[in-house]
Amino acid sequence: HEKPALCCGWTADGRGILSGGADGKGMLWDIGSGQWRQVAQHAGPIVGIFHSQLPSPCVITGSWDRTVKFWPADPAAGGQPLGSLEMPERVLAIDVRGSVMVVATAERHVLVYDLCNLAQPFRQKFSPLKYQSRCVAVFPDQTGFCVGSVEGRVAIEHIQDADLPRNFAFKCHRQNADSKQPEVYAVNSIKFHQAGTFATCGGDGAFNFWDKDAKHRLKAFSRSDRSVSASDFSHTGEVFAYAASYDWAGGLEGMLALPQEGRES
């Protein structure tokens, strides 16, 4: 990438890594050969990139250019998209699992798609959270999704009408929460374990494990000395990995206040 990479993901066969960057390019790294090939191009930064078997084997990308696009899984097939969906605003977060795709855009729009029927969103609504969406994650059983925002809150949302009464939201990633002026941090990452529990990571440098069905926090871990910006579980669920780096919540002033080592990470 000619500019910072913003997202990454594995190919379905585990032989390649996809990455999307602020340069609008989607790239594929073939691990065996070590070669990079371009698989996608947007007019704005790419914030999400996925390999999907639906609606046919393809690469799915979401971008600030207000589109979600579908690209040939084989880079040799050419550089033209297989299809494109117009979004109401810039794509800020996207997740794909099985036949479900959830897209969160600026101005609090949330769109749910059935990848087997892309003619129109299965459900379109405003986020129940008051401020900008930062991340989304589809449940392992594909019956719903989580939305995390910059206000230190997570919403648990279900897709089918019969399950909508089970929707709720909760506060997290806040320091001095009992004071009149608590420190509120963004929820930067939500990732599900195969068992249905999930992890949240925030700008406060903390990560927590949750049980949405019991509405209970399973464990709070010690805080890092900087923001936790990304995370994921291994495919076996045995390992949880996270990345700590400055997330620009404090602007340039916050960046300059970091030690030199922190500025370079």
Q: What is the pLDDT of residues 206-247, one digit of tens each?
A: 999 999 999 999 999 999 888 999 999 999 999 999 999 888
User: For the purposes of burial, counting CB atoms within 10 Å of the CB of 242, is it exposed (0-12), middle (13-18) or buried (19 or more)?
Assistant: middle
For residue 150, give the nearest of 227, 253, 255, 245 by alpha carbon.
Answer: 227
User: How much is the pLDDT for 45?
Assistant: 98
**Of all residues in the chain, what percent carry a pLDDT higher than 70?**
98
Q: How far is 265 from 28, CA to CA, in rounded Å?
A: 24
User: How much is the pLDDT for 262?
Assistant: 60
- Of 28-32, 89-93, 175-179, least confident by mean pLDDT is 175-179
The tokens of 59 are what? 């690469």
Does residue 112 have a pLDDT over 80? yes
At residue 171's C-alpha, the angle toward residues 240 and 258, to 5°, is: 65
